[in-house]
Amino acid sequence: MPLIRAHHLTKTFERGDSVVQVLDDLSLDIESGDFVALMGPSGSGKSTLLNLLGGLDRPDTGSIVVGGEDLCDLDDDELAGWRARSVGFIFQLYNLLPVLRARENVELPLRLFGLSARERRRRAELALTLVGLEDRMEHFPSELSGGQEQRVAIARAIVTDPTFLLADEPTGDLDPKTSSEILDLLSSLHGRLGKTILMVTHSHTAAERARSIVHLEKGRIAAGVA
């Protein structure tokens, strides 16, 4: 059974007096341990699909089952708890808090689990070491390069040992050399740790790092898995 089963998803948004169909009867299965790149033009529904699979939003119709749990059956509090346990988010603009050091930013998701300060610190330091930032743990975001900030964001995403990672244009704000390093890191997390990764990207170079590619067009899958 696939890790993620998204079937017959629809999603609309109101824009002024108009209703825009963003997802149109979309179905997608993702196996455990897969690395999938989502591609398509702007407005094709890539980020909307990512938000639905991560429990940040709900579909108008359809079902999303992850690890046998139907997200549509969860109330808002249950969904928030599931999201904290199950999903690691990686964003294009890092979303780090500038007043916190790298280690403190990585510790943030762990505060939801009632861990001691000592255990939070231990896990954050381990995650930062895994992404190659053992010598930057006490630096503020303003003291880091863009690539280092994204590594902190990745460490924050993996620190809870989530079921899967969702990456929305993780290299979109980086130069080619740094982008390659971040993609190397994601490939390593997939290969060494067996993490399931779903990545939205406009970059064919980035998509080639994935195991499979899904193309979206006007809210539907326009081509099969490449």
CA pseudo-torsion sign 32, 127, 148, 193: negative
Share of the chain above pLDDT 70, in %: 98
Record the pTM: 0.90
* Nearest-10 Cα torsion for 152, 158, 159, 160: 150
How many alpha carbons lie under 13 Å from residue 37 in its C-beta half-sphere? 22
First-to-last alpha carbon distance for the chain, in angstroms, is 21
How many residues can be counted in the chain?
A: 226
**Tell me, what's the pLDDT at 223?**
58
Q: Dump pLDDT digits (tens) for 77-119.
A: 999 999 999 999 998 888 899 999 999 999 999 998 989 999 9
Checking if the pLDDT of 225 tops 70, the result is: no
Domains of the chain: residue spans and CATH: 31-58+72-223 (3.40.50.300)
**Tell me, what's the pLDDT at 92?**
83
Q: What is the pairing mode between strands 164-168 and 61-66?
A: unpaired
**Tell me, what's the pLDDT at 222?**
83
Q: Please state, in angstroms and rounded to a whole number, the distance separating the CA atoms of residues 104 and 113.
A: 15
**Tell me, what's the pLDDT at 173?**
84
| Average pLDDT rounded to a whole number, residues 27-51 | 93
In this structure, of 162-166, 183-187, 189-193, the range with the lowest mean pLDDT score is: 189-193
| Average pLDDT rounded to a whole number, residues 177-181 | 92
**Tell me, what's the pLDDT at 226?**
40
Q: Could you tell me where the DSSP H helices lie in 35-169?
A: 46-53, 76-86, 102-107, 117-130, 146-158
Q: Dump pLDDT digits (tens) for 129-169.
A: 999 999 999 999 999 999 999 999 999 999 999 999 999 99
